[in-house]
Amino acid sequence: MAKCYIGLGANLQQPAEAIASALAKLHAHSDVSNLQCSSLYHSKPMGPQDQPDYVNAVAAFETKLEPLLLLDLLQTIEQEHGRLRERYWGPRTLDLDILLIDNRTIDNERLKVPHPGIELREFVVIPLAEIAPELDLPNGKSVKSLALSIPDNELRILAPAPSFT
């Protein structure tokens, strides 16, 4: 079993509902166990500013899926939400990014783990610190120290963490 952390983001149509529905699909999947999620956060767009604000969260779960099969699963869920991606760093109906898989480093054409943007994104670091305050990245940096030093860029909590029972 591997412990995975993923980032969820959306800023079109009904972003909070898209994230809740993606979490429900993960929870229902037979290869996903012990799903946990951070609060839902409201964030300012990184990249072009002429797009709506985002809803972001970070979730953790255990899976026996190999990394590329996990990527396939997440991409299927994105597509089920009619994923729109009109331009690079433009708005999206649902984005599911693999952030971390155990302490592994993966450098594949389709998949880089840890996600190369983690340390620069307050909408990843702060929700990650909420659910995994004691975690260190494979490069040795602690999530807690990253969360304390990153500018918050007006990140705020929008809704409490969904719970799965």
Q: Which residues are the active-site residues?
A: 83, 92, 95, 97
133-152 footprint of ligand ROI as x/- string (CB under 6 A): --------------------
Interaction of residue 95 with ligand ROI, rule CB under 6 A: yes
- Using the rule CB under 6 A, which residue among 2, 16, 24, 46 binds ligand ROI? 46
Task: State the nearest-atom distance from the C-beta of 14 to ligand ROI, in Å.
Answer: 15
Closest distance to ligand ROI from the beta carbon of 61 (Å): 19
Which C-beta is closer to ligand ROI: that of 43 or that of 93?
43
The three state secondary structure string of the chain is: CEEEEEEEEECCCCHHHHHHHHHHHHHHCCCCEEEEECCEEEECCCCCCCCCCEEEEEEEEEECCCHHHHHHHHHHHHHHCCCCECCCCCCECCEEEEEEECCCCEECCCCEECCCCHHHCHHHHHHHHHHCCCCECCCCCEHHHHHHHCCCCCCEEEECCCCCC
- Which of 6, 9, 77, 132 contacts ligand ROI by CB under 6 A? 9
Residues that bind ligand ROI (CB under 6 A): 9, 43-47, 54, 56, 89, 95, 123
